[in-house]
Chain A
Amino acid sequence: MGAYVRRRLLQAALTVLGVMLLTFVLFRVIAGDVSAQYLGPRATEQDRQRWLAQHGLTKPLFVDTHHAPWSKAFWDSQFVNHLVDSVTFGGRSFRTHERLRDIIAKRGRYSLAISVPALAAGWVAALVIALVVAYYRDTWLDRTGVFLSVLGMCVPFLAYMILGQWLVLKILPSAAWGLGHTTNIYVPVTIAVIASLGHNVRFYRTIILDEVRRDYVRTARAKGAPLSNILFGHVLKNCMLPILTNLVTAVPFLILGSLLLETFFGIPGLGEQMISSITSRDVPIIAGLTFLTAVIYVLGYLVTDILYAVFDPRVRLQ
Chain B
Amino acid sequence: MDHQPTSDLASAAAGGLPVDSGRSFWSDARRRLARSPTAMICLGVIALYALVAVVAPLAYADWQGDTNYAQANQPPSADHLLGTDTFGRSVLAKTLLATKVAMTVGLVTNLIAIPLGMFLGAVAGSYGRWIDDVIVWFYTTLAAVPGIIRVIALKFAFQGKVLFAGTAWELDLAGMGGVCVALAMTYWIGTCRLVRAETLKLRELDYVLAARAAGRGRLSILLRHILPNVAHIGVINFSLGFVGAVTAEVILSYLGLGVQVGQPSWGGMINAARTDLIVGRWWELTAAVTAMFVLVLAMNILGDRLRDALDPKLRNA
Contact = CB atoms under 8 A, between A and B. Distances in A.
A294 B137 contact: no
A15 B285 CA distance: 41
Contacts of A169: 278
A235 interface: no
A80 to B, nearest CB: 19
B17 to A, nearest CB: 23
B218 interface: no
A154 B297 contact: yes
B274 interface: yes
A159 interface: yes
A30 B158 CA distance: 7
B274 A264 contact: yes
B149 A290 contact: yes
A265 to B, nearest CB: 11
B134 to A, nearest CB: 11
B167 interface: no
Contact of B149 (A15, A157, A293): A293
Nearest to B253: A158
A278 B152 CA distance: 9
Which label, helix, strand, loop or mixed, suits the secondary structure of the A interface?
helix
A31 B156 contact: yes
A163 B277 contact: yes
Given A14-B137, A18-B140, A26-B154, A274 B149 contact: yes
Contacts of B148: 259
Contacts of B159: 31
B254 A158 contact: yes
B149 A256 contact: yes
B26 interface: no
A256 B149 CA distance: 9
Interface residues of A, number: 47
Contact of B153 (A14, A155, A290): A290
B278 A297 contact: no
Interface stretch (B64-72, B90-98, B120-128, B288-296): B288-296
Interface magnitude class on chain B: 35 or more
B14 interface: no
Given A166-B277, A274-B149, A159 B144 contact: no
B10 to A, nearest CB: 20
B290 to A, nearest CB: 10
B144 A158 contact: no
Nearest to B136: A11
B197 to A, nearest CB: 12
A315 to B, nearest CB: 16
Interface string A272-298: 001100110000001001100110011
A249 interface: yes
A22 interface: yes
Interface string A205-227: 00000000100000000000000
Contacts of B262: none
B247 A156 contact: yes
Interface of B: 137-138, 140-142, 144-149, 152-154, 156-159, 161, 247, 250-251, 254-257, 267, 270-271, 273-274, 277-278, 285, 289, 292-293, 296-297, 300-301, 317
Q: Please give me the 5 A-B residue pairs with the lowest Cβ-Cβ distance, nearest first.
A: A18-B141, A26-B157, A294-B144, A154-B297, A154-B296
11 contacts: A23-B153, A30-B161, A31-B157, A154-B300, A157-B247, A158-B254, A159-B270, A162-B277, A256-B149, A278-B257, A294-B144
Given A156-B247, A253-B147, 19 more contacts: A14-B137, A15-B144, A16-B144, A18-B137, A19-B141, A19-B144, A19-B145, A22-B145, A27-B156, A154-B300, A156-B296, A158-B271, A158-B274, A162-B270, A264-B274, A274-B149, A275-B255, A278-B156, A278-B257
